[in-house]
Amino acid sequence: MRLTDYDIDTRYAAKVVSNEGLTDTDAEDEVCEIVLDVADDGISYKVGQIVGVLVPGPHEFGQPWHHRLYSIADVPAVNEHGHSRITIVVRRCDYVDEYSGERFRGVSSNYLCDRRPGDPVTLTGPFGQPFSVPANRSANLFMIGLGTGIAPFRGLVKRIYEHEKNWQGKVRLLYGARSGLELLYMNDRRDDFSKYYDEETFEAIKALSPRPNWADPIAWDYAIEDRVEEIVALLDDPNTYVYVAGVRQIASMLDQLFSSQFGPLAWDKRKQQLVADGRWVELLY
Ligand SMILES: Cc1cc2nc3c(=O)[nH]c(=O)nc-3n(C[C@H](O)[C@H](O)[C@H](O)COP(=O)(O)OP(=O)(O)OC[C@H]3O[C@@H](n4cnc5c(N)ncnc54)[C@H](O)[C@@H]3O)c2cc1C
């Protein structure tokens, strides 16, 4: 679905409750966790959904609004006034114009990262629910995220261990980042996933770049080296769901990784089957 296909006419007024940096000051990327209260009754959010943010203009080409999407990064809560409270995780984006070479600031991500408590934000959605908690508690979940792709999985893991309870399936989180400083919710600043390390069914596997200051690719193969058999068994199990989230490059990184394990043709066939069975779901941007 294209961004222009999303409904932006139904809007909700929200207010920033908090805006906290998630990456270390030395990290190359700046990522903010923004908690929002939505002042509207009768709207409920679910873990795994996406919300839109409308940045008021004027913008380039006379557009009155700039619309961008963000994953809900926590189990939605209710505030003291009975209104929805949601969390989003936003990476501050810059981009270089290929023609002029000029560097531009991403409109929505900079707007959001600069918002302070009490500031208003206009929301659209919620849209879709690409990732949901399987009804069967013995289902295995293999979540694979890159950068801000951790956002939907933070909510899912919390839902599984703090709300569903007694989860019996395996929950594996394979998380890639350029450096340890950029591992969101798994760094010195915030280590939210550590509270699930005691859960017998949970394991987080970190994949980093071997040389974070260089443009070296993330060492996915190195990260799963000791676990190849387990991952193959997981993918073979008809009770496993694979959820993938993050910037679009993650899809080709994973194709490369699994092709090297299974062989390119066999991987292509296997992935097609997983997709057809509804057991491989991607959220790419
Ligand atoms: C379904 C969906 C879910 C999304 N969830 C999240 C989320 O949870 N957190 C989040 O930060 N973003 C998320 N995004 C991306 C987000 O919607 C915006 O595209 C992003 O914030 C940049 O918008 P902007 O207005 O700041 O920049 P723009 O003015 O649109 O320009 C941004 C430039 O940065 C590149 N870019 C966009 N996003 C990223 C990124 N995360 N990492 C590296 N480069 C990027 C773009 O290709 C473009 O060149 C999601 C996108 C989709 C489609």
Are 145 and 53 found together in one domain? Answer: no
In angstroms, how far apart are the furthest CA atoms of the chain?
Answer: 56
Q: Are strands 171-177 and 140-146 parallel, antiparallel or unpaired?
A: parallel
pLDDT at position 58 is: 87
Is a pLDDT exceeding 80 seen at residue 215? no
Of 156-165, 192-201, 219-228, least confident by mean pLDDT is 219-228
Q: Quote the number of domains for the chain.
A: 2
Asked, for residue 189, whether it belongs to a domain, the answer is yes
Quote the pTM value: 0.92
Burial environment of residue 249 by CB neighbours within 10 A (0 to 12, 13 to 18, 19 or more):
middle
Mean pLDDT value across the chain: 92
Based on the fold, state whether residues 114 and 29 are members of the same structural domain.
yes
Are 274 and 156 in the same domain? Answer: yes
Ligand 1 centre distance from Cα of residue 73 (Å): 15
Res 167 pLDDT > 80: yes
* Last-in-domain residue among 81, 97, 127: 127
Specify the pLDDT at position 189: 85
Residue of minimum CA distance from atom 3 in ligand 1: 70
For ligand 1, atom 5, name the residue with the nearest CA.
70
CB contact at 8 A, 182 and 23: yes
Please determine, for residue 25, whether its predicted confidence score (pLDDT) is greater than 90.
Answer: no
Q: Hey, whose CA ends up nearest to atom 45 of ligand 1?
A: 93
CATH number at residue 53: 2.40.30.10
Question: 148: CA distance to ligand 1 center in Å?
Answer: 9
Q: Domain check: are 98 and 148 in the same one?
A: no
> Do residues 114 and 155 both lie within one domain?
no
Instruction: Name the CA radius of gyration of the chain, rounded.
Output: 19
Most confident option among 2-11, 22-31, 215-224:
2-11
Q: What is the pLDDT of residue 218?
A: 86
Domain extent at residue 240: 140-284
Q: What is the mean pLDDT of residues 195-208?
A: 93
CATH number for the domain spanning 268: value is 3.40.50.80
Mean local confidence (pLDDT), 126-139: 93
Please name the helix (run of DSSP H) or strand (run of DSSP E) that holds residue 260, with its range, or none.
helix 249-262
Neighbouring C-alpha atoms within 13 Å toward the C-beta of 255: 12
Residue 161 has pLDDT above 90, yes or no: yes
Last residue of one domain, picked from the residues 86, 104, 127: 127
Query: Ligand 1 center to residue 203 CA distance, Å?
Result: 28
Mean pLDDT, residues 155-159: 95
* pLDDT for position 165: 81
195-216 mean pLDDT = 86
Reduced to 3 states (helix: H, G, I; strand: E, B; else coil), residue 189 is coil
